[in-house]
Structure 1
Amino acid sequence: AIVDNLMIHFLVVPYFVRKDLSKVAVVASHAGAITRSIKFIDGLNRYNIDSRLVVCTALPQKNRTADIFLIGDVKDSDVLIVNDMCDTGKSLVAAAKELKKSGANKIYACATHGLFSHDAIDKIKNSDIDEMIITDSIPLRQDLPNNITQISIAPLIAAAIKKTQKGESLSNLYQY
């Protein structure tokens, strides 16, 4: 069986275009997020938004807080942290703190799946993250804080089902 991952960059990039950003550092939170982050950069560049890749990763340490490493410059830039999911929020909040300390302007985060275990929502609410955008792939409580925005993934899923039923390629789902 063939499995296709449905990528959300084509849903989220237009959302950020409406925010009138001009200089954006797209942050991969780990090596696995680099390819996903590059898709966001390509999308932002199509809208003439100057964007570049930055890597900000946490290296866990035994018996103490993880060390955060930043590769790239975020000074005077709006930041978009890209990830596939947000579970505890611990590494995301730590990355946002490091990015703010390094001179980032507004900090946005984006994840396909908002698992939000334990007190993750409160961590994000009280963090340096100006806005977290997630899809509705997982039902969430209704009283989300103002800095968490949920967007519908339904149009993407519906289009993928329709194309699959017709035997068509899913590749043009990701065109802006």
Structure 2
Amino acid sequence: ARRITAVMPYYGYARQDRKAEPRVPITAKLVANLLTAAGANRILTVDLHAGQIQGFFDIPVDHLYANPVFLDYFRRQNYKNLVVVSPDAGGVERCRAFAKRLDCDLAIVDKRRTRPNESSVMNIIGPVGNRTALILDDLVDTAGTLTKVARAIKEKGARRILAAATHGVFSGEAIKLLENSPIEEMIVSDSIPAPVTSSAKIRRLSIASLLSQAIVNIHRDKSVSRLFV
């Protein structure tokens, strides 16, 4: 083959992008090395957990964002008194840009993580009382943090609670937690196949058109930068 492009809508191990404690591997870098050693000449992926993972590769990386798909959906829903909620400080930049495009307010949840996949909500900064709150993140895994944030927002007087994430991993008891939470609707993309056990609250949006356009542009040696929204 003249060129091999690895299309990976969800980049596994993306959260292991740094050495958080002794004897912990930086697996995101290892996967990058494995892909390169296997013969990949280019990587096409969507919403990396940390943008700096692109620097782990010695080959070109096209990092797409699912925001256009989600923005189109929420604009059509035309929710009133919407506020975009960042579930942690690390997601503020993403949520700020999303809120700006929807012309709505931004709220931030200050939380303290006690152990992996678990966290305790500490404080909510911003207006959520009597509002439709949209919790926005790049992925939902065990849904522990997400549902705790939702309950904290509900206690602060939110009228409706929605959640959106590009990657729906839904591991462990995620579906059960989601069902028992105040979240009315969980919107995810189809970057990961749907779990065997799902929930009526989950709505999947297709990112096929986004990926297909990028693949065509790469194949024809055209720019894909206009897709980086």
Write out aligned runs for 1:84-163 (5 A). 84-141=138-195, 144-163=198-217
CA distance in structure 1 between the partners assigned to 2:168 and 2:119 by the alignment: 23
* Partner AA of 2:211 in structure 1: I
RMSD value, Cα: 2.0
Show structure 2 runs of 5+ residues with no match. Answer: 1-58
- Contact 2:119-2:145 within 8 A present in 1 as well: no
The number of residue pairs the alignment matches comes to 169
Which portions of structure 1, spanning 4 or more consecutive aligned residues, are displaced by more than 6 angstroms? none
Write out aligned runs for 1:8-19 (5 A). 8-19=66-77
* Residue 44, structure 1, aligned to residue 95, structure 2: no
Give the drift of 1:43.
2.3
Match of 1:29 in 2: 87
- Is the partner of 2:64 in helix, strand or coil? coil
CA distance in structure 1 between the partners assigned to 2:113 and 2:193 by the alignment: 30
Match of 2:55 in 1: none
- Contact 1:110-1:134 within 8 A present in 2 as well: yes
Match of 1:48 in 2: none
Give the drift of 1:165.
2.7
- Contact 1:131-1:147 within 8 A present in 2 as well: yes
Give the drift of 1:174.
5.4
Show structure 1 runs of 5+ residues with no match. Answer: 46-50
CA distance in structure 1 between the partners assigned to 2:76 and 2:161 by the alignment: 16
* Partner AA of 2:80 in structure 1: S
- Contact 1:61-1:67 within 8 A present in 2 as well: no
Evaluate the alpha carbon distance shift between residue 4 and residue 92 of structure 1 in structure 2; reply closer, same or farther with a 3 A threshold: same
CA distance in structure 2 between the partners assigned to 1:137 and 1:52 by the alignment: 28
Evaluate the alpha carbon distance shift between residue 114 and residue 27 of structure 1 in structure 2; reply closer, same or farther with a 3 A threshold: same
Give the drift of 1:97.
0.3
Normalized against structure 1, the TM-score is what? Answer: 0.86
- Is the partner of 1:18 in helix, strand or coil? helix
Structure whose alpha-carbon radius of gyration is higher: 2
Deviations 1:73-131 (A, max 9, x none): 11121111111111110000000001111111211111111111111011111101110
Moved more, 127-136 or 1-10: 1-10
